[in-house]
Amino acid sequence: MTDYVNYPTGAPVTDAKAPSGPVHERWDKRRFEAKLVNPANRRKHTIIVVGTGLAGGSAGATLAEQGYHVVQFCYQDSPRRAHSIAAQGGINAAKNYRNDGDSIHRLFYDTVKGGDFRARESNVHRLAQISVEIIDQCVAQGVPFAREYGGLLDTRSFGGVQVSRTFYARGQTGQQLLLGAYQALSRQIAAGNVEMHPRTEMLDLIVVDGRARGIVARDLVTGRVDTYFADAVVLASGGYGNVFYLSTNAMNSNATAVWRAHRRGAYFANPCFTQIHPTCIPRTGDHQSKLTLMSESLRNDGRIWVPKAKGDNRPPNQIPEGERDYYLERIYPSFGNLVPRDIASRAAKNVCDEGRGVGPGGQGVYLDFADAIQRMGRKAVEAKYGNLFDMYQRITDEDPYEVPMRIYPAVHYTMGGLWVDYDLQTTIPGLFAIGEANFSDHGANRLGASALMQGLADGYFVLPATINDYLARNPRQEPVTTEHPDVQKVLAETEDRLNLLLSVDGDRTPDSFHREVGELMWEFCGMARTDAGLRKALERIPQIREEFWRRIKVPGTGEEFNQSLEKANRIVDYLELAELMCLDALHRAESCGGHFREESQTPDGEAARRDDAFGYAAAWEFTGTGEAPVLHKEDLVFEYVHPTQRSYA
């Protein structure tokens, strides 16, 4: 470990593509300066897209509409099942339909501030500009957003902001937006413009002459490992929250595509920026396989509280009003229950650490709708949150109309990801990363209802404009075939890895290792991190890795449908990524957004940033498994939103 933490600092990394000038003109300027590909020439270009969530689905459809030949992959049995489908609450857009003072500039401001000043202004402003087009696009596709009686779109407010700019489709906004993108993609599949490979998982990236030229992927049904080639590769493979084992991610969401790209030369930025969502259903026991989110929109009408006294075990309805602590309303009177996610999560952890948590093990706080039901009536609450209440009841066997919900924070989203420039291109030419797979827009904390916005902005509007520039500048690339020595090498490495996993024949299951590393990460790299804890984790991770390759047991063969092999192969990558996350968290000796270092807090326990020392994005370069990576810093410049101590009081 001593070697690993003694990382060298390399040359700074700069975003060479972001134009200068007034922030609101930069996207127009870039679009004008970017070279175009003649429509007749587009069909000669093949683009690989990995993933079919909001970012990948929308990108695949749009690139195909433009005339490119798209070859697309997802590990699920259908592109419609990507985990974007589980997003509940909504999607932000600066439409200002409410006339409540919203504007593109305010969405930009809220997002930079919400991200605790660790995101690029240029990117965030572009996101805010595009937000309004996304709503138009989705409505045109037939996305059934919630509407008012007059037939116009309804909005609601979300954590971290004071305007009502979140568009929603009951508690299933992600599902409806994803189905919109899936349907657009389906139209292109039918038209022959997209060659779709479901149940096919990317296992490595093919880089030839310094450019991304394809991927190695495994057909999960037949087990066949194959190569696919293209002029550019787009990763839309989502985040890496499943490193923690328990998270709100889908069971099979994984980090293999981004981690393999990182190993091939793409820098990985801010891996320690992970989001812990404040409103998830608490775990019930060791059998727990995943955690379920309750939409943040519930904080609009629900009130969060714990008993004032430690160890108060009375049922909630027997605790009188005066003995309850509505701690968010008390500490943050102006934002109350709607403070940003990182703040709400940490506050919940604090009251539970004080011994005032509720439910089994004291790992929970109440989210109470009694006042809302009294104020709006049960029917109105049902109309707004009915499906969420049903889901809660199904999982916990408790009726939230009668008994307050119990919630606790859980890993939900990863702001870190592959480093990309303004064009969303990684440090490997021809390799692009969009959606949660990149690091670009949310800084150290993502605001609610902004993931859907970013995924669709990247996929529908940003990437289709910027990838043209790359293809126009590299119009004729040498054809690559499987026989190419660089390709043979990647293919052989992939097959060796799978064969090794199958041949160890040890005495521990893949899940047992996943759980072990996940618990370690939750303890030392979760809601609160310390120098000593992170060093402990960094000492332990290589040991787990060593034990993994000695004791892993994967039944069956590689030439068949083998879910244990899929899982084990993903854990190989988690065991390396976890190490980088801890190193990043260790090196960033400040608190910001979702990254809370106990050594760096204000007297009243808020995250204390250290802008002078850490006002940069940390982009890590891979040098070998267990070898110290090289740190490249990208300095962040704030011309419009000046860094201040965030205050939601």
Partner 1 sequence: MKLTLRVWRQKNAGAEGAMSTYEVDGISSDMSFLEMLDVLNERLILAGEDPVAFDHDCREGICGACSLVINGDAHGPERTTTCQLHMRSFQDGDTIDIEPWRASAFPVIKDLVVDRSAFDRIIQAGGYVTAPTGSAPEAHATPVPKADADFAFEHAECIGCGACVAACPNGAAMLFTSAKVNHLNVLPQGAPERETRVLDMVAQMDAEGFGGCTLTGECATACPKGIPLVSITGMNKEWLRAARKVGKR
**Sign of the dihedral through C-alpha 132, 133, 138, 141:** positive
Q: Which of 36, 152, 380, 500 binds partner 1 (CB under 8 A)?
A: 152
Number of H helices, E strands in the chain: 19, 20
Q: Is 144 in the site for partner 1 (CB under 8 A)?
A: yes
Residue 607, strand partner residues: 601
Q: Is 186 in the site for partner 1 (CB under 8 A)?
A: yes
- For 454-483, the DSSP string reads HHHIIIIIIHHHHHHHHHHHS--PPP--TT
* Near partner 1 in 378-397, by CB under 8 A: 391, 394-395, 397
| CB contact at 8 A, 306 and 327 | yes
- Say which amino acid occupies 569: N
Q: Is 361 in the site for partner 1 (CB under 8 A)?
A: no
Rounded least distance, CB 599 to partner 1, Å: 36
Nearest alpha-carbon partner for 445 in 646, 248, 247, 274 = 274
- Residue recorded with tokens 């991190």: 529
Q: Is 403 in the site for partner 1 (CB under 8 A)?
A: no
Write out the two tokens for 438.
């990149």
Q: Is 79 in the site for partner 1 (CB under 8 A)?
A: yes
Q: Is 58 in the site for partner 1 (CB under 8 A)?
A: yes
Q: Is 140 in the site for partner 1 (CB under 8 A)?
A: yes
Q: Is 147 in the site for partner 1 (CB under 8 A)?
A: yes
* Near partner 1 in 574-613, by CB under 8 A: none
Q: Is 52 in the site for partner 1 (CB under 8 A)?
A: no
Q: Which of 3, 40, 101, 149 binds partner 1 (CB under 8 A)?
A: 149
Rounded least distance, CB 9 to partner 1, Å: 40
Is the CB of 94 or the CB of 205 nearer to partner 1? 94
CA 300: distance to chain centroid?
23
Is the CB of 174 or the CB of 307 nearer to partner 1? 174
- Say which amino acid occupies 549: W
Q: Is 182 in the site for partner 1 (CB under 8 A)?
A: yes
Rounded least distance, CB 551 to partner 1, Å: 11
Is the CB of 86 or the CB of 608 nearer to partner 1? 86
| The one segment of 184-192, 333-341, 445-453, 588-596 that binds partner 1 by CB under 8 A | 184-192
Q: Which of 103, 141, 162, 350 binds partner 1 (CB under 8 A)?
A: 141
Q: Is 464 in the site for partner 1 (CB under 8 A)?
A: yes
**Sign of the dihedral through C-alpha 308, 312, 317, 322:** negative
What does residue 44 show for φ and ψ, rounded to 5 degrees?
-80, -10
Rounded least distance, CB 99 to partner 1, Å: 13
Residue 417, strand partner residues: 269
Rounded least distance, CB 561 to partner 1, Å: 4
Encode 426-450: b = buried (16+ Cβ within 10 Å), e = exposed. bbbbbbbbbbbbbbbbbbbbbbbbb
Is the CB of 80 or the CB of 113 nearer to partner 1? 80
Q: Is 23 in the site for partner 1 (CB under 8 A)?
A: no
Distance, CA of 260 to CA of 574 (rounded, Å): 11
Q: Is 42 in the site for partner 1 (CB under 8 A)?
A: no
* Near partner 1 in 440-459, by CB under 8 A: none
Distance, CA of 521 to CA of 274 (rounded, Å): 11
Is the CB of 490 or the CB of 552 nearer to partner 1? 552
Is the CB of 171 or the CB of 307 nearer to partner 1? 171
Is the CB of 247 or the CB of 445 nearer to partner 1? 247
Q: Is 560 in the site for partner 1 (CB under 8 A)?
A: yes
Is the CB of 95 or the CB of 125 nearer to partner 1? 95
Rounded least distance, CB 490 to partner 1, Å: 27
Q: Which of 42, 118, 120, 170 binds partner 1 (CB under 8 A)?
A: 170
Catalytically active residues, by annotation: 341
The continuous run of DSSP H or E covering 375 comes out as helix 370-376
Residue 232, strand partner residues: 47
- For 33-67, the DSSP string reads HS----HHHHTT-EEEEE--SHHHHHHHHHHHHHT
Residue 72, strand partner residues: 49, 196
| CB contact at 8 A, 566 and 252 | yes
Q: Which of 8, 12, 355, 555 binds partner 1 (CB under 8 A)?
A: 555
* Near partner 1 in 269-328, by CB under 8 A: 284-285, 287-290, 292-293
Distance, CA of 194 to CA of 575 (rounded, Å): 34
Q: Is 511 in the site for partner 1 (CB under 8 A)?
A: yes
Alpha helices in 594-633 (DSSP H): 611-614
Give the pairing type, strands 166-167 and 155-156. Answer: antiparallel
Total of residues contacting partner 1 (CB under 8 A): 80
Rounded least distance, CB 225 to partner 1, Å: 18
